[in-house]
Structure 1
Amino acid sequence: METRDTVLDDRYETVEGHLERDRGTVIGIWRGHIGWQDQLERMYDVFYLDCPFGRPLLRLLRHRPSGEIVGTIGAGPRPMLWQGRALQAAVVSHFAVLPTHRSLKPALGLARSMAAASLEHFEFAYGLTNAQGGAVCRRAGFGVPAQLLRHVKLLRYGSYAPRVLPGPLGRAGGALLDGAVAVGRGLRALGRRSGLHVVWTDAVDPRMPALWERSGHGDGLSTMRTGAMLEWRFLGLPAVRRRFLLVAPAPGAPLLAWFVCETNVRAPGFMTVTDAWFAGGVGGADRLAIRELCRMGYEAGYQAIEVRLAVTPPVLQAWRAEGFVVRGQQPLFVAGMDPCRAGDLGAGMYVTDIEQDG
């Protein structure tokens, strides 16, 4: 029996895109709607033309009466670990339909077409999207085995206190709290005994993939954080201001932890931790390293730190023990697995914003 979702709009068809030939068409659809508006060409070239892990897929939505291309969706190969073996998944990306054609059935046809194409080349497909895209993904057959929980820690209160306290009281309260925080941090700095070497760098340090290689990966789903992945994902794809924070027992020593940090494009006072890895791997995060991250974020002038995580309980507990609290969530959509396998996929995973398509 056909339902309203299975009967698609026959005024539209999905066609296979050509990565080189259709570059301008895709960027034209993105313009004004998704992505880094001042770096769309770079975003396309890095993701679709310069991917080091294989050839991405591209599907286009054509409006039959006019012959115009009015929508686009992509999927890029992503090397991952799951249950102790390496596999290639497809991260579904850059889902966009022009506003005058933005209704459920055309978008649904485009999403279903990409899910089917992805499963012909990859073991499964997944994606992180906004609420509108998520509604389409659910109808297109994507499941949700996990939620990335957004955790936030305030570093300064000057801009936050006026939200909860009226007028002058909010401003004065924020100033008093910030003064107390500054004094407390100064006292802790005097008695600081961590002895850790903590430094910012703009380059991927070879010790970063080395830390990932020697740590415990468990049986859950996680991206393979090789040098090639870190270089491509974090140096190729756009960001406002991206740096790496390295934590080691001494200069040049093997790392204890690393963090990928960038300025939030919509809230410049927020430092977003796009990815992080610890010597304990999926078995646990170093609270002292997280504390150093907070200290360095404060010294860099940020008001707060945010991180999105779908990780093992020991890792999650370490972040929460350092004052990070849940302030929202984002579903991880997965296609190509039956409910039982998808449930297994969510157990023991280590997923962060490294999975975003850039």
Structure 2
Amino acid sequence: MSAQVADSNPYAVARADVVRDRDAVVDIWRSSLHDDQARSLKLDWFYRHAPHDALLQVLLHQPSHAIVGTAGVGWRRMRLDGRDLRSGLLADMAVMPGHRMLGPALLLQRTASDTALQDGDLVYGFPNPHAVPVVKRLGYVHVGDMTTYVRIVRHGPYLARRMPAALAGLLGACIDRLVWLRDRLHRMAGRRLHAAWRTTPHETVHAQAWSGPGTLEGVHDRDALEWRFARCPLASFRFLYVQRDRAPQPCAWFVCRQQGDTLHVVDFKTDPAGSASRSLTVLADAAHALGCRSISLEGCLADSEKALLRRHGFFVRQGRPVYARWKQDDAAPRAAFRLTPFDEDE
């Protein structure tokens, strides 16, 4: 273990050995992030079996020889105007109680970031409010917001919060019918659309061809989608593909996870030159068929996609900031980030 440390500093940062340091790392995650059994599953999936490798570093308290913190970087292939970039996703920043001070946190974040930028073009992350001052001091800038959009599929249960149940059921059924008729009008234009669920990614989808100029976006190829969702041990996902009559390729796809009565869309792409609007009506039909009350979709999206969601009844629920740091600050392109939970680590 080769540590990076300043003279007289009781803390040092070193590259973790995922096998040797496993118990210490999982204990830190359970204490600082989430107390559940998925922590050990994530260690193997994210740091040992990722298609583009990953970096995990640990914070050492030298007087006690104890591992007291972690910081990870997962590599992502991204594309900007036809050019491939290697991007580092900041993940699993955690420090044990008793060591949560600015100095150790700054050392851990700086070392992880600088190490990643030695081999990558940029690093990005989704810091919580307490971590924002730390990443700003390291030269990260705000590049967008991960925003949650929600569309109601069954209105009755929501109206019942504000009026008697009987009246809410009647009024909700009327609203549902009107929305259904509106969606039918959207779907009547053009060729018929078909939808099919799959548990694995489509063999021939190349969604990056749908990206606009000046947009920085992850490469959603089959291998990346297979690892990120189909082989993820933390949750179960399904792929909804939308195709036109006789068309060889899907015109839209949605990666979904159902939790209770909500269908969560964790990744998606629609062909802007095709049936983007009608594809959203297919998604709503699929959610209704599953018995869902609502659809939740999250992303740092282009203005055109935001407008499309608003037209289809999605409203903003909440947002989280995205920060990024480029290897060459003065050469950082003015790229528009397009991100979904595909670009996160859980």
Fold similarity call, TM over 0.5: yes
Give 1:56's match in structure 2, choosing from 45, 54, 57: 54
Match of 2:37 in 1: 38
Aligned equivalents of 2:128, 2:265: Cα separation in 1: 19
Aligned equivalents of 2:136, 2:255: Cα separation in 1: 31
Give 2:294's match in structure 1, choosing from 280, 300, 304: 304
Counting only pairs closer than 5 Å after superposition, residues 1-358 of structure 1 correspond to structure 2 as 10-34=9-33, 37-53=36-52, 55-161=53-159, 163=161, 165=162, 169=163, 171-184=165-178, 193=188, 195-207=192-204, 209-210=205-206, 212=207, 214-250=209-245, 253-264=248-259, 268-280=260-272, 286-336=276-326, 342=332, 344-345=334-335, 347=336, 349-358=337-346
What per-residue deviation string (whole Å, max 9, x for no partner) do you get for residues 104-158 of structure 1? 3322221111111111111111112332333432333321111122211122234
Instruction: Indicate how the Cα distance of structure 1 residues 9 and 226 shifts in structure 2: closer, same or farther if over 3 A, else same.
Output: farther
Task: Structure 2: give runs of 5+ residues left out of the alignment.
Answer: 1-5
Instruction: Indicate how the Cα distance of structure 1 residues 40 and 132 shifts in structure 2: closer, same or farther if over 3 A, else same.
Output: same
How far did residue 189 of structure 1 move?
A: 8.5
How far did residue 217 of structure 1 move?
A: 4.7
Q: CA RMSD in A?
A: 2.8
8 Å contact kept, 2:45–2:233: no
Task: Structure 1: give runs of 5+ residues left out of the alignment.
Answer: 1-6
Instruction: Indicate how the Cα distance of structure 1 residues 189 and 142 shifts in structure 2: closer, same or farther if over 3 A, else same.
Output: closer
How far did residue 32 of structure 1 move?
A: 4.5
Instruction: Indicate how the Cα distance of structure 1 residues 187 and 120 shifts in structure 2: closer, same or farther if over 3 A, else same.
Output: closer
How far did residue 85 of structure 1 move?
A: 0.2
What per-residue deviation string (whole Å, max 9, x for no partner) do you get for residues 189-243 of structure 1? 9886462111211111213x24x25534533100011111111111122344311
What per-residue deviation string (whole Å, max 9, x for no partner) do you get for residues 305-351 of structure 1? 12222222222221211111122211111123566655702x3x322
Identity %: 28
Instruction: Indicate how the Cα distance of structure 1 residues 101 and 250 shifts in structure 2: closer, same or farther if over 3 A, else same.
Output: same
Q: Which amino acid letter does the alignment assign opposite residue 255 of structure 1?
A: P
**More divergent stretch after superposition (147-156 vs 244-253):** 244-253
Q: How many residues align?
A: 338
How far did residue 46 of structure 1 move?
A: 1.4
Q: Which amino acid letter does the alignment assign opposite residue 197 of structure 1?
A: H
Q: Which amino acid letter does the alignment assign opposite residue 350 of structure 1?
A: R
**More divergent stretch after superposition (329-338 vs 112-121):** 329-338
Aligned equivalents of 1:321, 1:32: Cα separation in 2: 43
8 Å contact kept, 1:285–1:314: no
Q: Secondary structure at the match of 1:131?
A: coil
How far did residue 25 of structure 1 move?
A: 2.1
Aligned equivalents of 2:44, 2:80: Cα separation in 1: 29
**More divergent stretch after superposition (154-163 vs 313-322):** 154-163
Instruction: Indicate how the Cα distance of structure 1 residues 331 and 188 shifts in structure 2: closer, same or farther if over 3 A, else same.
Output: closer
Judging by fraction of residues, say which structure has more strand.
2
8 Å contact kept, 1:285–1:315: no
Aligned equivalents of 2:70, 2:100: Cα separation in 1: 12
Q: Which amino acid letter does the alignment assign opposite residue 196 of structure 1?
A: L
8 Å contact kept, 1:13–1:64: yes
Aligned equivalents of 1:86, 1:43: Cα separation in 2: 27
**More divergent stretch after superposition (38-47 vs 181-190):** 181-190
How far did residue 276 of structure 1 move?
A: 0.6
Q: What's the TM-score, normalizing by structure 2?
A: 0.87
Q: Secondary structure at the match of 2:147?
A: strand
Q: What's the TM-score, normalizing by structure 1?
A: 0.84
Q: Which amino acid letter does the alignment assign opposite residue 161 of structure 1?
A: L
